Amino acid sequence: DNRQQTTDNRQQTTDNRQQTTHNTQQSTHNIHIQHNTTTLRWDAAWPKGGTKRLGILGQELAKGPCAWNNRQNPQIYEVFSRLLGTERLMSPPDRYGVMRPTRDVRFTVEDEHDQEKQTAQYVFRDMPAWKTSENWFHWDLNPWGFMEGNYPDNEEVEEGEKKCDSDGGGNGEKCGDLPPGKLQLRHQLELMDIGASRQDEENKITRWTDPFLRPGSFMTEHNITNRFEGFEKVQGLVALCDCPENTGGFMTVPGCHQYMTHWVRQNRVSSQQGFVSCPKHEPMLQHAQKITARKGSLIVWSSRMVHCNFPNDGPDFRYCQYIKMWPIDAWKDGERVWEARKQAVLASLPADFAVSELGDKLFGITKW
């Protein structure tokens, strides 16, 4: 009888665990938000900065086992390898993207008289304040440096073209003669410019060894690299849920990377920045398209393509993981910087995480 009771208890424990797992999975798509604690739990406590405004989860890397397995996924690697034309790739860690629902959001109303919580009451509310920013199109590279570093013919200035650098002048035109949109772009870049590409080796090592600076180093790795030795610079995301148009998501101007040669000639600015915003009234943005995706889909785009997230306008969350890979032949730093980066990767891996033979090379632990 005691043995049978023990067996029954174990079975009950297993059933409880399965029920807990089921509830957790279900809550991912059908979250019960307490109506009377909305501001505390879902606004003030929601991660600030990029998460609220842009739909990118804070300044922390996606560091769980699932995220690292995606980075060493052979199928994802195969896509990047074919697009870039080389097997010798590296995959730096990046972040998750999360957007809250903004329409018909279901809130649970607690009934203080129903102590056993046998019933639940719900209200549905629109939450426009939860929407992320619109029209923040940008490049995760420096268009002038990248295009001129990889396409030398851009050094030529077309006849009659206005050229402006940080000091004004160029071909004799002053920056003040530029249209307002271009002038605004120059001022923005001038203020943001931190001379990132001028870092010496010691500064680069510090960025990998300092735990506070490390996440940003991974996120922006190669944003300021001007020469990719003939390779395309690409980046991507994996949809972790179905992403129809009303959940918000990825937006770009298809084919605009083929227009970049002309664009950098017409918008010459002196800057070292690796994140550049596109002027809001840029004509090519009229051709922007929203890109939907099914759960498990991989979207990859050229970093020369201007892009952004567009806001959620529906009842469901939007989840994705940002993934990028770049050719190891684009690495220009020395052995000391490589070793510092390697130690930064090892410090970021989850405990007991099984790095595959492919992941060992993609993460930069072992060289190709």
Amino acid 28: pLDDT: 40
Q: What is the pTM of this model?
A: 0.77
Give the integer Cα–Cα distance in Å for 200 and 70.
33
Per-residue pLDDT tens over the stretch 324-360: 999 998 888 899 999 999 999 999 999 999 999 999 9
Amino acid (1-letter code) at residue 359 = G
Q: Read off φ and ψ for residue 144, nearest 5 degrees.
A: -70, -50
Amino acid 270: pLDDT: 63
Count of CA atoms in the C-beta half-sphere (13 A) of 323: 29
Strands (E), the chain: 33-34, 89-90, 96-99, 105-109, 121-125, 138-139, 234-239, 249-252, 276-277, 289-291, 298-302, 307-310, 318-323, 326-327
Give the integer Cα–Cα distance in Å for 263 and 151.
13
Joined tokens for residue 361 = 């090379």
Amino acid 225: pLDDT: 67
Amino acid 271: pLDDT: 67
**pLDDT above 90 covers what percent of the chain?**
47
Tell which residue, 136, 147, 354, 103, has the closest CA to residue 245: 103
For residue 80, pLDDT over 50 is answered with: yes
Strands (E), 12-134: 33-34, 89-90, 96-99, 105-109, 121-125
Please state the rounded mean pLDDT for residues 202-224.
88
Give the integer Cα–Cα distance in Å for 124 and 4.
48
DSSP 3-state of 204 = helix
Give the integer Cα–Cα distance in Å for 294 and 287.
23
**Dihedral in degrees, nearest 10, Cα atoms 222, 226, 232, 235:** 30
Per-residue pLDDT tens over the stretch 227-237: 677 788 999 99
Count of CA atoms in the C-beta half-sphere (13 A) of 291: 19
Give the integer Cα–Cα distance in Å for 109 and 311.
27
Tell which residue, 83, 56, 48, has the closest CA to residue 219: 56
What is the sign of the dihedral through the CA atoms of 250, 254, 255 and 261? negative
Q: What is the DSSP string of 315-344?
A: SS-EEEEEE--EEGGG--S-HHHHHHHHHH
Buried b (16+ CB within 10 A) or exposed e, 245-262: ebbbbbbbbeebbeebee
Amino acid 3: pLDDT: 62
47: which residues sit within 8 A by CB, 6+ positions away? 57, 58
Q: CB atoms < 10 A from the CB of 329, how many?
A: 15
Amino acid (1-letter code) at residue 107 = F
Integer-rounded Cα Rg, in Å, for the chain is 24
Tell which residue, 76, 127, 67, has the closest CA to residue 103: 127
Please state the rounded mean pLDDT for residues 167-177.
36
Confidence band, pLDDT 50/70/90 cuts, at residue 156: very low
- The end-to-end CA distance of the chain, in Å, is 61
